[in-house]
Amino acid sequence: MSKPIRLGIAGLGTVGAAVVKLLNERQQRLQAALPRRIQLVAVTARDRTKDRGVDLSGFEWVDDAVALAVSPDIDVFIELIGGETGTAYDAVEAALRSGKSVVTANKALLAHHGTELARLAEKSGAALKFEAAVAGGIPIIKALRESLWSSEIRRVYGILNGTCNYILPLMMTEGRAFDDVLAEAQAAGYAEADPTFDIGGFDAAHKLALLTSIAFGTEVAFDDIYVEGIENITPADIDAADELGYRIKLLGVALKTDAGIEQRVHPTMVPKHSAIAEVNGVTNCVAVDGDDVGAIMLVGPGAGAGPTASSVVSDIMDIARGDRTPAFVRPAADLVPQERARMRAHEGAYYIRMSVYDRPGAFAAIAGRMAEQEVSLESIVQRRAHRALPGIDAGRAPGELTNVVLITHPTTEAAIRKALEAIVADGHIVHKPQMIRIENL
């Protein structure tokens, strides 16, 4: 057997410690599948004294991640620090410049600097691998890079954030408030250090940016993603969705259209009996629609020490086998700039919920505004009436309010937005209307 491939790990949080443990405990099994021995030789983290539940005594301790990244003692740098900039960026950049392959779980780093880092890796002949950055233990990157490569892909979509997927079903089944369930997800360790990354949709968007690039051969373009989080979803929406036969999920969708690649992350109504509606809790799922292959869906743990470590080790194994395929499969120079499809061009059905003054002509005016934009309504449901809150609409005598829920037939987002602007201007409703896109599955 040739000389071992030497690993250095930067970041010994839950995932880093789990990778050390996995490499220790599964040594024999890993070696059985590899032409070269893999050997962890050095580690670095912020706090040397912390007990991480793994024995680090056999490894060199390096105080500085960048120093480890360029150390002549390692061949592969494993970045588990996290963060779009700062030490993670500096260390990965330094490792790639010095020709060392990199394995990272850092979705934010790659979503913002993926194309540039892929270019650096190719220049120095290094590999840059990131299975753990997207959907934890689900091997979707490998599936797209290898197994599904021959298919022309039309759409990639999925539940890419476990925290949101944990919150939304609990709001429905237990009728609990958003903040209460979020606090529970944070306590359980699912949420990002800053949970606005989760609930604001940005974590899912980071992952979607990477999937899009591999699936469609485009430069990584996080800034071209339309992002809307789940902060404004109310129990009223969840109840209405249930009555109408839907569940609400935060979906990430990348779709090839005539106008370009539509990349979006937003709360989405999916049919209650679809496979994706059944994916609950911190579980993630990624679905791919491709020519030839048809519809594929992978479901599994999207976070957590064990699943994420398993993906990190799978990348290390590929490097040990000699895989130097470009990070996004095509050489970075061949990735085409994103041709961004604007959300106003999005076509689909919509759920709209409005608090309407229950008075003659209100419904007719709303339906009229929809008709003006050629939006056809599939259903209108008037839900329980309630009293207007005092002061909700200064200058107008408070009247009875009724919750009106509309489901439209497929239309363009531009038409819906224009119709809603006119409805708001007509003054028959209080509050901004709620609009949730319905995904055609």
Q: Which residues are catalytic?
A: 207
- H/E stretch holding 102 reads strand 101-104
- Distance of closest approach, residue 139 Cβ to ligand HSE, in angstroms: 15
User: Of residues 8, 114, 229, 302, which one binds ligand HSE by CB under 6 A?
Assistant: 302
- Give CA–CA dist 264/9, Å, rounded: 33
| 191 is a contact residue toward ligand HSE (CB under 6 A) | yes
Phi, psi dihedral angles at 263 (to 5 degrees): -120, 120
Is residue 304 within 8 Å of 136, Cβ to Cβ?
yes
Nearest Cα to Cα of residue 79 among 63, 52, 62, 101: 101
The binding track of 361-400 with respect to ligand HSE, each residue x by CB under 6 A or -, is ----------------------------------------
Q: Which stretch binds ligand HSE (CB under 6 A): 47-55, 161-169, 264-272, 428-436?
A: 161-169
Q: Kindly tell me which of 87 and 165 has the beta carbon lying closer to ligand HSE.
A: 165
Write the single-letter amino acid at 295.
Answer: A
Q: Which stretch binds ligand HSE (CB under 6 A): 62-70, 156-164, 293-301, 363-371?
A: 156-164
| 59 is a contact residue toward ligand HSE (CB under 6 A) | no
User: Of residues 203, 219, 224, 228, which one binds ligand HSE by CB under 6 A?
Assistant: 203
Q: Kindly tell me which of 162 and 229 has the beta carbon lying closer to ligand HSE.
A: 162
Enter the DSSP assignment of 223. G
- Distance of closest approach, residue 304 Cβ to ligand HSE, in angstroms: 8
User: Of residues 101, 106, 161, 283, which one binds ligand HSE by CB under 6 A?
Assistant: 161
- Distance of closest approach, residue 106 Cβ to ligand HSE, in angstroms: 10
| 192 is a contact residue toward ligand HSE (CB under 6 A) | yes
Q: Kindly tell me which of 116 and 192 has the beta carbon lying closer to ligand HSE.
A: 192
Residues binding ligand HSE: number (CB under 6 A):
11
User: Of residues 130, 190, 216, 246, which one binds ligand HSE by CB under 6 A?
Assistant: 190
Neighbours of 102 (CB within 10 A): 27
Q: Which stretch binds ligand HSE (CB under 6 A): 60-68, 184-192, 350-358, 413-421?
A: 184-192
Q: Which stretch binds ligand HSE (CB under 6 A): 5-13, 174-182, 186-194, 232-240?
A: 186-194
The binding track of 255-294 with respect to ligand HSE, each residue x by CB under 6 A or -, is ----------------------------------------
Q: Which are the contacts of 174, defined by CB distance < 8 A and separation ≥ 6? A: none
Q: Kindly tell me which of 22 and 419 has the beta carbon lying closer to ligand HSE.
A: 22
Nearest Cα to Cα of residue 128 among 94, 89, 109, 100: 100
Is residue 62 within 8 Å of 30, Cβ to Cβ?
no
Enter the DSSP assignment of 427. T
- Distance of closest approach, residue 33 Cβ to ligand HSE, in angstroms: 27
Q: Kindly tell me which of 198 and 224 has the beta carbon lying closer to ligand HSE.
A: 198
Q: Which are the contacts of 390, defined by CB distance < 8 A and separation ≥ 6? A: 398
- Distance of closest approach, residue 215 Cβ to ligand HSE, in angstroms: 19
Residues 204 to 263: which contact ligand HSE by CB under 6 A?
none
Q: Give me the residues paired with residue 101 across strands.
A: 76
* 251 torsion bin: left (phi>0), alpha (psi -120 to 50), beta (else): beta
Q: Kindly tell me which of 181 and 404 has the beta carbon lying closer to ligand HSE.
A: 181
Q: How many residues does the chain have?
A: 441
Nearest Cα to Cα of residue 33 among 1, 58, 60: 1
Q: Which stretch binds ligand HSE (CB under 6 A): 20-28, 188-196, 369-377, 395-403?
A: 188-196
Residue 378 CA: distances (Å) to CA of 24, 128, 389, 410, 434: 58, 48, 30, 9, 17
- Distance of closest approach, residue 160 Cβ to ligand HSE, in angstroms: 7
12: three-class secondary structure by DSSP: coil
Task: Name the one residue in this structure whose structure tokens are 């912020």.
Answer: 46
Burial class (CB in 10 A: 0-12, 13-18, 19+), 325: middle
Structure-block tokens of residue 395: 């200058």
Residues 91 to 150: which contact ligand HSE by CB under 6 A?
136
Our CA dihedral for 394, 395, 400, 401, rounded to 10 degrees, sits at -50
Q: Kindly tell me which of 5 and 205 has the beta carbon lying closer to ligand HSE.
A: 205
Question: For binding to ligand HSE (CB under 6 A), which residues are involved?
Answer: 136, 161-163, 190-192, 198, 203, 302-303
